[in-house]
Copies of this chain bind each other. A is one copy, B any other.
């Protein structure tokens, strides 16, 4: 039986709802499949392949060093996953192998967009076969295999299964901004491991911005000497990371943002700028005035030399020049630039930027690269081979595609906005305006990129801002468009999240250490109970409601910096509340809801003991009181429901006011259980809560 991915997901869900955790009736079968991203086609077979110390991998046909390293890495991951010693699980001759790996030819020395990543994986009780056209396909298939291995009653095992898989989009990226906060190499490496685990294939390295220039230039050493606070990557380190990424089937696309977002360049090279200078490394966030001078030939001479150097350092075919958010103020204020504008018959600053982009594009092209830039670069005078990265949305992307330009979507994938995974998951590069494109135009939409802007991230909490949510974006970009079941996504996301722990990602492990620092104590139970049900405010609200302006000097040690972008606890609570109010009132759910509400109601009393002890706790006291009050409201509503008694209108009105107050951000945090408790109050009173006032 050949079944498409989405159908398969539904099958899993039905089985789960029936209360079984098994894919088949045999008790020896592993649990549900934790695959993420979901493959294109999955065909279950009977039985399972036991993975024991004798497990071995054979490579049939021709091999090369990259393939061998991929297999070795796979074996290391498998050893770590199973706790087998390094002496077990070997690369062996094809005849004896439990897993036969075969690929038709090696991958390109420099990984290309659209290079074949497809694979077929066939697992039977006797052994497994992994076939692919390229080494890239083998890497993807090996990750799938790892996700299939589970602890079962018979040992570690992978279920008998046939999978045919390939990505929906060729460009599946993660951007990390290392300018606003510097991110050390080892932190990037573990994030590349995470990317490979969920089949992302582009690391977009945002290397320069107003707040720092992060890569060594031998031609222009003052870029880092004066523009980085000493926090930058040497060229050797860059080469090291590129090799690391290449081994994992990940391209590295460097971005040097220009002509705006470039203050850090001007600290060492003020002659590049449009203003008089001098310039200093920017410590604040936002759009600033400094911009390169597009009217001076020396700017292009500099860029020619610089881009030439970087084009050599970064082997990828694509080169990102940013090109976003120029406010034009320095251009307006510079008489020479204004003369230049008139002399060239340009009308607006946009025209001037287009002129700049055209010049830069020629330089990028001269050095053998294809230019990538944000929406703003798009002007019809640029050649059709450039790529537009859209923060504006699918309509903007579609418009570009209609003009013949290729594009990638980042609108909807900004991880720094603290959206829940479900919201990112719902955004499709082919949605909205892109849905009506012709098949030929659709080909021009290459994929998307999750973006991690780093105003509020440090090496300590970066992972928890990226993971596990980036895995939901990875599935969107790899799996069929109709794989959209949110419950299934979350179910598998929680598994992926725990699975990423093995790779050394710290999104889970740093939570406790951060909370212990905040509490000033090893006993964090009440603080964690609180933090588990709050989320950082969304979008750009953190800035908008800040009482003290945040800068790159602000410590990121507050509860908001530890709190997770998506509260699993609040989400589970919402599911339980829905279950208890459903047609078949679920008495287990009701009991669990009550237990949770009691814990939350009593939590403030416990948290109080810590308050006097830690300055970092003080700001959450009002919200912690809200949590207790809201939980008490929920318990009262539950009592009314239990007694089958309609709650009085006056009571309901009072509770709605309390809930509306509790829904307001405090300490830049949101209390995520409020909507569910509101449902309980509505159900118990028959009243509807008033719509929130804007």
Contacts and interface: CB of A to CB of B under 8 A. Distances in A.
A239 interface: no
A593 interface: no
A458 interface: yes
B553 A152 contact: no
A501 B512 CA distance: 10
Given A153-B613, A153-B615, A613-B152, A555 B84 contact: yes
B155 A615 contact: yes
B553 A517 contact: no
A546 interface: no
Given A83-B556, A153-B613, A553-B85, A513 B502 contact: yes
Interface stretch (A164-172, A339-347, A518-526, A678-686): A518-526
A224 to B, nearest CB: 15
B460 A87 contact: no
The copy count of this chain in the complex is 2
B152 A555 contact: no
A231 interface: yes
A229 to B, nearest CB: 6
A151 B613 contact: yes
Nearest to A22: B613
A542 B509 CA distance: 31
Contacts of A153: 612-615, 618
A182 interface: yes
Contact of A85 (B82, B554, B612, B614): B554
A224 B520 CA distance: 48
Contacts of A502: 513
B82 A517 contact: yes
Contacts of A27: 612
A151 B520 contact: yes
Given A85-B554, A458-B85, A517-B83, A154 B522 contact: no
B83 A555 contact: yes
A277 interface: no
B151 A519 contact: yes
Given A516-B498, A518-B151, A83 B458 contact: yes
A85 B613 contact: no
A257 to B, nearest CB: 21
Given A86-B182, A501-B513, A520 B553 contact: no
Nearest to A494: B522
Given A150-B520, A519-B151, A615-B153, A85 B556 contact: yes
A423 interface: no
A92 interface: no
Interface string A174-191: 000000011000000000
Contacts of A555: 53, 82-85, 88
A514 interface: yes
A21 to B, nearest CB: 8
Contacts of A514: 83
Interface residues of A, number: 54
A53 B557 contact: no
B150 A181 contact: no
Nearest to A553: B87
B150 A83 contact: no
A494 B522 CA distance: 8
A83 B460 contact: yes
Contacts of A81: 517
Contacts of A521: 31, 151
Interface in A604-625: 612-616, 618
Contact of A151 (B458, B509, B561, B614): B614
A496 to B, nearest CB: 11
Contacts of A509: 509
A80 interface: yes
A31 B522 CA distance: 12
A552 interface: yes
Contacts of A460: 80, 83
Most B CB atoms within 10 A — which of A31, A509, A512?
A509
A45 interface: no
A520 B85 contact: no
Contacts of A21: 613
Contacts of A484: none
Contact of A522 (B82, B498, B554, B561): B498
A495 interface: yes
B151 A615 contact: yes
A83 B151 contact: no
A694 B295 CA distance: 94
Most B CB atoms within 10 A — which of A460, A495, A554, A557?
A557
A612 B612 CA distance: 47
Nearest to A154: B615
Contact of A87 (B31, B512, B552): B552
A554 B613 CA distance: 48
Contact of A495 (B155, B522, B557): B522
Contacts of A513: 498, 501-502
Contacts of A88: 553, 555
Given A154-B615, A498-B522, A502-B513, 15 more contacts: A27-B612, A53-B553, A81-B517, A82-B517, A82-B555, A83-B458, A83-B556, A87-B552, A151-B517, A151-B521, A153-B613, A153-B615, A155-B615, A501-B512, A509-B509
Interface of A: 21, 27, 31, 53, 80-88, 150-155, 181-182, 229, 231, 458, 460, 494-495, 498, 501-502, 509, 512-514, 516-522, 552-557, 561, 612-616, 618
30 contacts: A21-B613, A27-B612, A31-B613, A80-B460, A81-B517, A83-B458, A83-B555, A83-B556, A84-B555, A85-B458, A85-B552, A85-B553, A86-B182, A87-B229, A87-B552, A88-B555, A150-B520, A151-B517, A151-B521, A151-B614, A151-B616, A152-B615, A153-B613, A153-B614, A155-B615, A494-B522, A495-B522, A498-B522, A501-B512, A501-B513
The 4 A-B pairs at the shortest CB distance, nearest first, are namely A83-B557, A151-B520, A509-B509, A151-B614
